[in-house]
Each structure stands twice: as structure tokens, then as C-alpha cells.
Chain A
Amino acid sequence: MKRKGLMVLPFALWAIIFILVPLGLIAWYGITVEEPVAYTEITLEDGTPAFRLEDGTVQTQEPWQKKAVISFQNFKRMVEPTYLRLLIRSLKIALLTTLICLILGYPVALILTGKDFKHPTLWLMLIILPMWMNFLLRTYSWMSILENSGILNSWITALRNAVPAIDQWFTARGVGNKIIFLYNENAVILGMVYNYLSFMIMPIYTVIEKIDKSLLEAAADLGASPSKSFIRVTLPYSLPGVLEGITMVFVPAVTTFVISQLMGGGKVPLIGDIIQNQFGKSSDWHFGSSLSLLVMVVVLAFMGGLQQIDKDEEPQKEVRIF
């Protein structure tokens, strides 16, 4: 027993230093605010004005010290419409991203696991490969495609110049010379979908790939057409992968700030941007921490909800989904 206890030590240390302490710090910052230290003005024996701080120290400079006071005013501030609106927008964009990733990713995973599909590993590699490039680089390349003088716009212009009919079509719809793709919610969602799609495909692929092929044969044997056997066998069995994919996309999507800053150009601030601001420009670590705590609660609630579904759909349980 003792030896086993010793073996846990490195991990315990790791957990304490890199998980518990930072969490504790965030929690502490989150529930406190800074207040100026109280003081009284006094005159020293030689007649110079001075200040006596509340802890008894005396100094001649005007007091600059601050102290942390436990207060929930940051939480009150969070429910102000400005921040609530940001949170709701973040959730909306994250959910939309997750949904689009699911709609795009599930068929991809399904096709890749198809029995007649040649070289699935190669295709999987091609899907993952872009993820090995720097995240910023990937996002910047989207920007260079979509920006006003970007690749897409120059192609469209070339096309409009070449084919008058297309130009008329665009003009009839009131489209100017340049189409503005960037700096709106859609651009942010596009950036997120592009960056997180593989996180949806991978877990679903893994789960579908592991489904015992004889179960599909059994379903066909009992009279299930391919679509029915998908609904009755593949879908229920792939659910754990779907839930995992949802988590892997939703959690980073709800906390990101880089994509919204680049693709949104600061016009679509998300809760992550505000948090980043508090630790940067505004340098209000206390409010930043409170907001972080809020996001953590939201993510935890979301994952808790997902787990509930997972439990319900667990194959062991006698629950019929369809």
C-alpha cells in the first residue's frame, strides 16, 4: 500500500502545482476585488505630512497600496446585459459550430468506415494533416482567402469581368465590387468549423470503425435495409463517439478568443475575448477570473448534460431509442 502511495506522489505533485493551485488562484481572484487601503493623514514630529495605513505602517507618500477584499460584486457585474449578451453569443456560436461540425463530420466518418472505401487511413491522414500546421497560420490563410482584396474576391471579380451574365446576376442582387466575407459571425463560425472539424470526425470514426461488422450483417440478415440498419445499429452504437466529438468541439469553441479576434476582426467579441481583455488591456484579473469561473460552470453543466444522455443511451440499459 505504502509503495503504491509513493508512486502516486509525482502525479499528486503535478496535480497540485499545475491544476489545484491555479484553480485556487482563479477562484480566489474571482471572489475578491481590490480596494484601496484605508489610512489616516497625520503630521510627523518634524511637521511633514504623512499617512498611517490601517496596518499601522507610516509613510510619507500618498498610499497606493491595495488589498483584496472578498466581494461578489464581480458576479453582479457579470449578469449585466453587456456580458450576458456576450455569453449568449458565445454559446450560440459554439453550439452552431458544434452542430455544423456534426452535420459535416458524421457523414465523413461514416464514409471513411464504409466497407468498400479504399485507403481510409490515407484519407484520415489528409484530414488530420492540416491540424499539424500552426493554428494561427491556418486562420490567417482563411483571412487571406476571404478578405476584401483576397483570393476569393479576386476570382469573383475576374469571373464577373469575363462573363457579363454573372456580373449582371450579382449586380441585380445589389452586390458591390467586393463581397465582405470577413468580420462577422459567419466568418467566426467558419473559422471554428474549419479548426475543430477533425475533432468531431476522429472520435466518431473510431467508434463506428469498432462496431462489430457481424452486427450489421445480422441486421441485414433479419431484413434491415442499409438505411434501417444504420438507424437501428450504427447510429445507437456511434452515439458515444458523437458525444465525445460534441465535447471536443464545443468546449474549445465556447472559450476561444483567437478565432473571433482574427476572423471577427474584433467586431464579434466572445466571452473569451472579454476574459483575455481583463488579463491584458483592462488588467482586471479579478473580473477576468470571475468570468472564467462562469465559463467553467457553463462548460461543466454542458458536459454534465451530455453525460446524462450517455448514461441513458448506454447499451447495458434497457432503453429503446428508436
Chain B
Amino acid sequence: MENIILSIRNVKVVFEDGFTALGGVSLDIGQNEFVTLLGPSGCGKTTLLRCIGGFEKPTSGEILYKGQDIIPLPPYKRNINTVFQRYALFPHLNVAQNVSFGPDLRHEDKKETAKRVGEMLELVGLKGFEKRRISSLSGGQQQRVAIARALINSPDLLLLDEPLGALDLKLRREMQLELKRIQRESGITFIFVTHDQEEALTMSDRVAVMRAGEILQLGTPVDIYNEPESAFVADFIGASNILPSTMVRDKLVHFLGVDFPCVDTGFGENAPVDVVLRPEDVKLKPENDPAEGVPFGTVESLLFKGVHYEMKVRSGNDVLLVHSTHARPVGARVKLTVAPEDIQVMRKSDFSPDVRARKGEGGVQ
């Protein structure tokens, strides 16, 4: 990657009570990139963000910002701004005073600042809101003020801590597009924290999926979605069938009692693995259809989901989730086909369904 703006190297955070919030995280972020830290609550994503912002001191490791280790610097000496989870706007100041907080601190020219406040408010779609009180704004408007307040300082790096969490779905979708637009237009590097996989896939250039203080997988949204490297990522990123399988040999994997040709190699012979089947990649045919396919089981349930139907197909103890625009009636016996390139083979991890079942944690779904 060229023009690395932020380099996180083996950052560890152990809290006073001995809890390891980050267990040695490394991540390089490029100029003008939109990187999302995605993971369930408690995975350390906010802690990592707070380390970058300066609100948390790593136990060990380095954070290089433009090549300089910024860990010793207090937050107010870092040219990095944050949009806080609950916005943290100053209720005793009006919208314009909130936005101009940074420039006022630096005693910048009042007229110039007022002009820039206007520009920033226009950028976030709040033109003419200068004199409004914070308490009179809706959640979405407050969020925009928080963004304007951060952007007016022209940071090279903007940290966003689940900024859309408090908004309703429609507003959230709007703001996702808005944020992406602002990021493109301003040329600022965004590090975005969320637990919403859809948000992460929609907005990001790259996504880092985190769990228990580690980055499990780092890649483009398409990579993460199509080629999850572990059962956890596959599960977290969206509805998936995660099946305990055996790699018979290169390009041949055995699951659901059948050998399937696949494209993966290098797992060894007869190695235990997990296979991810996206529900939309599984094609169902009536059992008596002359076309090719593996006879599988019966349709157990059928739900209309708008764009597609969601079906659960059962064969013995195995249940397969299938999305299709063609409905198969409940009770119909079906056979299935999966294209070799749609089979994603992953190494076994402690999140594999069979491992978790043995540990008594229950299934993935």
C-alpha cells in the first residue's frame, strides 16, 4: 500500500482488572481510505479507536501516524478528530459555537471561522442551523453537527465510533451514503467502528473483522463476504450455512454426505475443515428434475422475504438455509447444486459449529 497514514503495530491493551481488550493488533491504513472495524460488542474495536484518538493508552505496541509514534501524545496534540458514539456535543453552546469549538481554541480569525462553519454546515446538510440549540435538534441532526465539528479542523484522519447507532433504519441508510460522500469529497481518511455488518460492507474500502481483541480478517467487503477465512467471520458477516466438512483432497470436499468439487487447495488430504455456503449460492431443483444435482432432503419452511424466498431444507440433522427467487413448496423433496467456486473452504477454528457443539455452546444459527 502506498501512502500509509496510520500504522498500528502489535498494539496490546490489558485493563487494570486483567482483561485483555486488545491482544496485539496490527493494521496499516492508507491515505484517503475508509476502513471499518467490525465486530460484536466487547471485541475491542472501540478500544482500538480510543487508542488511536489518545483516550486509551496501549499496554504495548506502536501507533505510527505519518511515521511518528503518537502514543505518548495526549489527544489534544494529535491532528486526529473523533465523532463520538453519543456525539458529545456541548449543550451550553449553539450549533455554530459547537462547530467552531476547535478553531476558537486555536484563536483563528472570527470572520474566517464563521464562514467555514457555514461551509461545514452546508456540507452536512444543516445550512442555516447556526443559531439553533443542540437540544432542539434530532438525533440525525446532532450527528451531523458532530461530524461538522470534527471536519472543520481539517483532520487527516477522522475516527467515527458507531456514529449511526442511535438512528433509525431509514436515517441510517441516508447517513451511510452521506458519510461516504463526505469522505470522498473531503479526501479524509475514515476509521469507522460498527457492529452492523451491512453498514460495514456498504461504506468501507476495507473491513477488519474483530473478535476478542484480535483482527480475524482484513479485506475488501467483497473478499470478506465471499471468502471468509473462518466460521466466525462467515457467521458475523451475514446469514450463512457453515458445515463441518472434510477436505478429501485438493479441489474435492466432503459434506452433507456427498463429495463436492471445489476450487480450494492446500488443506491436505482428509483434513477436517469448515465449508461456507451462502444461502443464495445453493440452487434447489425438484428431485425428479432430470438436470444434475445431489438429492438432499425436504423443504421444511418457506418464508417470503421481498426480493427472495427463504427456505430451510432438512436432511436428517442437517439444515440448509437457501435464498432463491423460486419458491419450493413445503414438504417438496429437492436436490441441490452448488457451483465449485461458491464453496468457501475454511480452516477449523474454535468457532466451528461442531467444535462449539462439543464445548456445549450451541449452534451458530
Contact = CB atoms under 8 A, between A and B. Distances in A.
Contacts of B149: 222
A288 to B, nearest CB: 45
Given A214-B86, A217-B75, A223 B94 contact: no
Interface stretch (A20-28, A64-72, A269-277, A314-322): A314-322
Interface residues of A, number: 22
Nearest to A233: B90
Interface in A212-261: 212, 214-215, 217-225, 228-229, 232-233, 236-237
B217 interface: no
B277 to A, nearest CB: 43
Given A218-B88, A221-B53, A223-B153, A318 B133 contact: yes
Contacts of A220: 54-55, 74-76
A315 B92 contact: yes
Interface stretch (B24-32, B101-109, B311-319): B101-109
Nearest to B133: A316
Contacts of A320: 93, 97
Contacts of A316: 91, 133, 135
Contacts of B97: 318, 320
A275 B124 CA distance: 65
16 contacts: A214-B88, A217-B75, A217-B82, A220-B54, A221-B53, A221-B80, A221-B84, A221-B150, A222-B76, A222-B105, A223-B106, A223-B153, A228-B105, A316-B91, A318-B94, A318-B133
A117 B91 CA distance: 26
B91 A315 contact: yes
A220 B75 CA distance: 6
B141 to A, nearest CB: 17
Contact of B131 (A212, A222, A318): A318
B36 interface: no
Contacts of B90: 215, 218-219, 233
Contacts of B113: none
A224 B105 contact: yes
Interface string B67-95: 00000001110001110111011111110
A229 to B, nearest CB: 8
Interface string B236-249: 00000000000000
A236 B76 contact: no
Contacts of A229: 76
Contacts of B74: 220, 225
Contacts of A315: 91-92
Interface string A271-304: 0000000000000000000000000000000000
A236 B234 CA distance: 49
A218 B89 CA distance: 8
A217 B82 CA distance: 9
Given A221-B76, A222-B102, A215 B153 contact: no
A236 B54 CA distance: 25
Contacts of B84: 214, 217-218, 221
A217 B55 contact: yes
A228 B106 CA distance: 11
A240 to B, nearest CB: 11
A233 B92 CA distance: 9
Contacts of A223: 76, 102, 105-106, 153
Contacts of B150: 221-222
A254 B284 CA distance: 89
Given A217-B75, A237-B92, A222 B81 contact: yes
A11 to B, nearest CB: 33
Contact of A217 (B80, B88, B92, B153): B88
Given A214-B84, A219-B101, A316-B135, A225 B76 contact: yes
A218 B106 contact: no
Interface string B320-352: 000000000000000000000000000000000
B56 to A, nearest CB: 11
A222 B153 contact: yes
Given A214-B84, A220-B76, A221-B76, 16 more contacts: A214-B86, A215-B88, A217-B55, A217-B75, A218-B82, A218-B84, A218-B88, A218-B89, A219-B90, A219-B101, A221-B80, A221-B81, A222-B102, A223-B153, A224-B101, A320-B97
Contacts of B82: 217-218, 221
A236 to B, nearest CB: 5
Contacts of A219: 90, 101
B92 A221 contact: no
B154 to A, nearest CB: 12
A212 B105 contact: no
A229 B92 CA distance: 14
Interface string B50-62: 0001110000000
A315 B86 CA distance: 18
Contacts of A215: 88, 90
A184 to B, nearest CB: 43
B130 to A, nearest CB: 10
Contacts of B106: 223
A219 B150 CA distance: 11
